[in-house]
Structure 1
Amino acid sequence: MASQNQREDLPLSRGTDYEPLAARFRPIFERIAAGALERERTRTLPHEQIGWLKEAGFGAIRVPAEYGGAGASLPQLVRLLIELAEADSSLPQALRGHFAFVEDRINAVPGPAREKWFERFVNGEIVGNAWTEVGAVKLGEVITRVSRRGNQWVVNGTKYYSTGSIFADWIDVYAQRDDNGADVIAALSTRQPGVKQSDDWDGFGQRTTGSGTSVFENAVVDEENIIDFSTRFKYQTAFYQLVLIAVIAGTGRAALRDISYEVRKRTRVYSHGNAPRVSEDAQVQQVVGQIAARVYAAEAAAVRAAEPAQRAYETRFGTDREAEKSANVAAEIESAKAQVAVAALILQATTDLFNALGASGVSENKLLDRHWRNARTAASHNPLIYKERIVGDWEINGTEPPFIWQIGNGVSAA
């Protein structure tokens, strides 16, 4: 129900019935899970699997129902991403840039430009991202440029960590305008010769997210898709983190699934064990029970952390600016708390699973180590130590968290 301070005639994505929504995608998640181990082993990018999700309308679940989307709330999106991450943790991370761009568009001023994007999302088009500059850039420096060339606007520059863009129809590029120096988002089509993408991500985890380098050489962007960065949705940092939290929680679910299966089928026992079957060994059961409890807590924290971001989205269209500000602060703080808690829970769970098996548990055929590698990689994107400090500063001093942060070279000691 809309609040008294909210426009009741404006369609918003406040949520839907979760089980019917999830039921649409669970058969696809099962198909994705069936090939996940082999894709991990061969580092095969999930182009086909992303295609299944696009065709099923997964990329439009946050679009208001009145425009053809599912109208899902942010907690519901997080729940779905957790389920997808259980199937293959690379896929929700590959779609992180897409859902962030969708979130920005559903926060945008209503009008034809926004509705055109809604139509694209509903038709299955997805958006990648390219924000991180390459090379010896100073902190906050933006080298990628949007310039006027004749009667066209073009983008030139090189980006790294452009996760998911290799699967995308569009790319959300963080750049700077040459004419006025303003920071902007340039949303440009990948279907043009001026865009070159590489799968050169060399991390030990999340190997099939399609991350890597994107090069833009006079890539054309429509003027209506050059968006002033100052209008970007305010809880964006929290949102990006929520996706990673979902990735980590879903990785934990996959680890629990796999260790339960391995214990269930194991026949070899130790002479100094506690039962004639591993599945009946009380200490092994305890290990799996602890993993299950950690996964449960991680999933609950992930979903709860999305609630203030949903409030921030809804109050953005109201008249109570203090309520909106409070929701944005809560979105940042709660996503940071959840990041710290979920990372600790799942990193421990994906380590402890080996206590339930013998030496065969480290077999390359099983690839059980992928769960720790994937969780560790997703947990490393935004340094945990800084999130802990930000939360502590808030709790002690009431210091507002940063809503935007950047990375680059610091001041030389020389």
Structure 2
Amino acid sequence: MSELLEHTAPPSSATQAPAPDTSQAIHAAWGANPSERYETLAQTWRPVFARIRASAVERDLQHRLPHAEIGWLREAGFTRLRLPAAQGGHDATLPELFGLLVELGAADTNVVNALRAHLGFTEEVLSADPSAWRDFWLDRLAQGDLIGAGLSEAGPAKVGSFATRLAAGPDGLRLDGRKFYTTGSLFADWISVAAQDDSGDTHYLQVPRRAAGVEVVDDWDGFGQALTASGTAIFTNVAIDDIWIKPGATRFPYAVPFYQLVHLASLAGIGRALAGDVAQRLRQRDRVYSHGNSASAAQDPQLLQVVGRTHAAAYTAGALTLHAAQAVQRSHDAHLQRTADSDAHEQAAAIAHVEVDQAVSVLTRVVLEASTELFDALGASATLRQAGLDRYWRNARTISSHNPRVYRERLVGDFAVNGTPPPTYYRVGINEAGSR
């Protein structure tokens, strides 16, 4: 530690020494890795993450979707992280997965979000009971197939229902409907779809993106996460094979905390990226204010405090993400070890919900604050579009809006006061009792 302090202490002479390379020291300051083998695991993909980050600002400015970047990750085996070694995977634990997602989020959160449905479906398959369906999809995932999102609807469907229909006809099952928030589907081979049959029963299925009758449109115009291809998918009389339909209508028990934790990993990645960005820009900044505290911006104590606060926010976000990932891992393990005479798996799932919701409350706040506060350490030129610093707030605000923290905080409070477990699954739609 004394060696680190000696190397990073400001020189006492009037002539400033060249700025040291602090990247390794800062990386170490993010906290302990989620496992002993994590560094070895991460070295496989860090060069890919670096390539993705190198063009992140350019992609954002030009609205260039990350087709190539997602292809790099697929080719490197990142999409098979959680699969067993026998299926070409890396047997990654959930904390290891989320540690890597934080690093990928620091490169580009659009890419993390685009892979969210794929990662969730992988959990769906891994946690499923033995079946022909599970075998089929394990093989497809092992072959490198990618999954995109197609569950949500923006239309008039009621809460707890879907307007998309799966109907039997003389020539087999057919799918008709319209989805929105189809994140990642333009990059995918399959789209995860939720639909209802004529009896009102819900079914979850995977539909080939290039099948006849499937149209995916890049019409997502949110001010953040603009490159996730989260727009519209239209299904018109699409022929459906039985093996594509998941047996039963239940999701894996830790689905809600898992999907939310992907968002938190993205936010933690934003925190790390903006903290590194503001530190580098302050280190390289030549111009100062006459009423500042130093002839060098890099030695101005007030500006250094701002950088310190952004790093503290990033540290908090990363630590919360990895700690909550342990709870989700425990829920996963309890589910696989469940027995008919024990409710331990249900308790583990409830605790995972609560731990992730608690993380949401703090993590979203500190990253959003840091994404604004970083500008206090820089000049007006930092607001130029070409700098790309505005994307941190835009992306963080958009991610945080997907699952409002106000409800998460209330659920935690209800659990703490009344012992009420959080709901297992969430749905969005029209509630007729409250419609005008």
- Normalized against structure 1, the TM-score is what? 0.93
Contact 2:133 2:247 in 1 (8 A): no
Provide the residue aligned with 1:31 in structure 2.
51
Provide the residue aligned with 2:308 in structure 1.
289
| SS at 1:365 equivalent | helix
Distance 1:229 1:258, change over 3 A: farther
Letter in 1 for 2:295: P
Out of 67, 80, 94, the position equivalent to 2:100 is: 80
Does residue 376 of structure 2 align to residue 355 of structure 1? yes
Distance 1:33 1:118, change over 3 A: same
Provide the residue aligned with 2:334 in structure 1.
315
Out of 183, 190, 194, the position equivalent to 1:170 is: 190
Contact 1:79 1:303 in 2 (8 A): yes
Distance 2:355 2:248 in 1: 24
Contact 1:16 1:70 in 2 (8 A): no
Distance 1:42 1:148, change over 3 A: same
Contact 1:350 1:372 in 2 (8 A): yes
| TM superposition shift of 1:310 | 0.9
Q: How does 1:22-101 map to 2 (within 5 A)?
A: 22-101=42-121
| TM superposition shift of 1:149 | 3.0
Distance 1:200 1:299, change over 3 A: same
Distance 1:144 1:413 in 2: 21
| Residues 108-145 of structure 1 deviation map (CA, whole Å, 9 limit, x = unaligned) | 11244323322222222110111112322222221111
Provide the residue aligned with 1:334 in structure 2.
355
Q: Which has the larger radius of gyration?
A: 2
Provide the residue aligned with 1:116 in structure 2.
136
Contact 1:337 1:387 in 2 (8 A): yes
Provide the residue aligned with 1:185 in structure 2.
204
Distance 1:198 1:16 in 2: 43
| Residues 244-264 of structure 1 deviation map (CA, whole Å, 9 limit, x = unaligned) | 000111011111121111111
Contact 1:284 1:356 in 2 (8 A): yes
| SS at 1:173 equivalent | strand
Distance 1:322 1:184 in 2: 26
| TM superposition shift of 1:229 | 5.0
Distance 1:116 1:369 in 2: 43
CA RMSD of aligned residues (A): 1.6
Provide the residue aligned with 1:255 in structure 2.
274
Does residue 426 of structure 2 align to residue 409 of structure 1? no
Provide the residue aligned with 1:346 in structure 2.
367
Contact 2:150 2:179 in 1 (8 A): yes
The answer for unaligned runs of 5 or more in structure 2 is 1-33
| Residues 212-232 of structure 1 deviation map (CA, whole Å, 9 limit, x = unaligned) | 000001222220221145331
Q: How does 1:145-294 map to 2 (within 5 A)?
A: 145-178=165-198, 180-228=199-247, 230-294=249-313
Distance 1:153 1:16 in 2: 49
| Residues 373-406 of structure 1 deviation map (CA, whole Å, 9 limit, x = unaligned) | 1101101100111001000111111101011111
Letter in 2 for 1:126: L
Provide the residue aligned with 1:3 in structure 2.
none
| SS at 2:194 equivalent | strand
| SS at 2:385 equivalent | coil
Provide the residue aligned with 1:8 in structure 2.
none
Provide the residue aligned with 1:390 in structure 2.
411
Letter in 2 for 1:224: I
Q: What is the total number of aligned residue pairs between the two structures?
A: 400
Distance 1:313 1:245 in 2: 18
Letter in 2 for 1:365: Q
Distance 1:246 1:111 in 2: 32
| Residues 137-192 of structure 1 deviation map (CA, whole Å, 9 limit, x = unaligned) | 222221111122334322110000010111100011011123x4321111111121
Contact 1:163 1:212 in 2 (8 A): yes
Identity level (%):
43
Distance 1:412 1:286, change over 3 A: closer
Distance 1:167 1:314, change over 3 A: same
| SS at 2:231 equivalent | coil
- Normalized against structure 2, the TM-score is what? 0.89
Contact 1:238 1:335 in 2 (8 A): yes
Does residue 419 of structure 2 align to residue 380 of structure 1? no
Provide the residue aligned with 2:124 in structure 1.
104
Distance 2:303 2:226 in 1: 31
| Residues 197-220 of structure 1 deviation map (CA, whole Å, 9 limit, x = unaligned) | 011111110110111000001222
| TM superposition shift of 1:413 | 5.5
Distance 1:60 1:350 in 2: 32
Contact 1:263 1:278 in 2 (8 A): yes
Letter in 2 for 1:200: D
The answer for unaligned runs of 5 or more in structure 1 is 1-13
Distance 2:373 2:338 in 1: 49
| TM superposition shift of 1:68 | 2.1
Distance 1:153 1:413 in 2: 34
Provide the residue aligned with 1:7 in structure 2.
none
